[in-house]
Amino acid sequence: MIKTDAHLQDRILAFLRQPCQFPNRLQPSHSGATASSPVVNVESPRNVEAQSDTFDSLALDVFAFQYAHNAPYRAYCERFGYRPGSIAHWSEIPATPTSAFKYLPMASFPVANAVAEFHTSGTTRQLAGKHFFKTLDLYHAAILPVFRSHLLPDDARLPFLMLTPSPVDAPHSSLVHMLQVVANEFASSFKYYTEDYHGLVDDLAGFIARQQPVMLLGTAFGFVRLFDFMRSQQIRLVLPDGSRAMETGGYKGRSRVLSKPDLYAMFEPYLGLSSARVVNEYGMTELSTQFYDATLRVGYRTDIKPVPPWSRVMMVDARSGKPSMPGIPGLIRVLDLANLGSCLCIQTEDIGVAHPDGIEILGRATGAEPRGCSLAAA
């Protein structure tokens, strides 16, 4: 019997709301040894045996639900001979390519009933992908604990200064919506700046005078533009101890392009933040869950991103679609239980490698379009 979406949502919400712990120390293999598996989070960091649902049982039920109610996804599965009775394990669930969101409504409900829709950027040469939500309950439940664990492991309550438009100015940006959700929940105050770098620098100077730590949140190109402005004005600041920054990657022609090490090297001379106070976020419009560097949790700069219990990440070979050999980079495939209303299993065009405690993002596949969530937040 196919479960209803309300029944599945209640089960997934209960699963998301169980306490979970992310690592405060990374295993030594991150220094060079290869991972034992191309799959991250084969077992949850919490005791799943104590739960009435496991990831596998939920994933199989979600797949059956989406097969029954998501017509484009069902047609895709049927084309390759997949159906609920033929899938025995979550790792066998067919993945939906992110490009499908550009051409079809990948939803398990009538999109006229959507309470929200988030768009990838799109340009004159690219269609915008659209992710429709019947409810935002799962989306918000997935956002909050991962953000708190990786950006606020010390439970600090800080002013949030966001280098993005407001939700009013960018209503279809998943990144902007996510920032609003975390600001409403965790910030002592928050403000959007877009490209008001004069106003941002003035406000930062005020926080410095009061010795009030802050959190800066923005895209990679937003920070590059801020640093270029500060350089042009010969401005150097030293933020109070306890300050931190979150950057989401992405340039897409909006600024000069810097490598991640070069970008992070600019935080100290312009803001007084070491690279160990800067956290990268990996997310996309087609997902409901985000992944963050463990940097603030472990106390040093790392590119390893732990995977939450309601998600699984596989590295797959670009040609065969099969799991990559252990320790070998592959295309990132994500299973996200919070994607109940769309597609559980998403095939990205990003390249990564699995480590025992998480994933490392290496870049985009050759020929892949730039991801759009950061540009949509410009």
Instruction: Give percent of the chain above pLDDT 70.
Output: 86
pLDDT band (50, 70, 90) for residue 106: very high
Q: Is residue 367 exposed (0-12), middle (13-18) or buried (19+ Cβ within 10 Å)?
A: exposed
Quick: pLDDT tens for 5-51.
899 999 999 999 988 888 788 876 544 434 445 566 544 444 444 44
Confidence of residue 146 (pLDDT cuts 50, 70, 90): very high
Q: CB within 8 A of 20, min separation 6: which ones?
A: 44, 45, 46, 145, 308, 309
**What is the side-by-side order of every strand in the sheet holding 244-247?**
189-192, 159-162, 215-218, 244-247, 278-282, 291-292
Q: Is the pLDDT of residue 108 over 70?
A: yes
Higher pLDDT: 140 or 29? It is 140
CA distance 342 to 333: 15
pTM score of the predicted model? 0.90
Q: What is the pLDDT of residue 372?
A: 44
pLDDT at 22: 86
Residue owning tokens 């992310």: 22
Q: 314-357, pLDDT tens digit by residue? A: 999 988 888 888 788 999 999 999 999 999 999 999 999 999 88
- Which residues, in sequence order, are CB contacts of 252 under 8 Å at separation 6+? 121, 221, 370, 371, 372, 374, 375
pLDDT at residue 39, as a whole number: 62
3-class state of residue 187 by DSSP = coil
**373: confidence class by pLDDT, cuts 50, 70, 90:** very low
Cα separation of 327 and 119, whole Å?
33
pLDDT for 91 equals: 92
pLDDT score, position 197: 95
Q: What does the pLDDT average to over 267-281?
A: 97
> Phi then psi for 357, rounded to 5 degrees?
-110, 10
Which domains does the chain carry? Answer: 1-26+44-378 (3.40.50.12780)
User: Buried (b) or exposed (e) across 221-253, using 16+ Cβ within 10 A?
Assistant: bbbbbbbebbeeeeeeeebeeebbbbbbbbbbe
Please give the residue that has the higher pLDDT: either 120 or 159.
159
* pLDDT tens, residue by residue, 45-78: 444 444 446 899 999 999 999 999 999 999 999 9
Q: What pLDDT is recorded for position 38?
A: 59
**Which class for 12: exposed (0-12), middle (13-18), buried (19 or more C-beta within 10 A)?**
buried
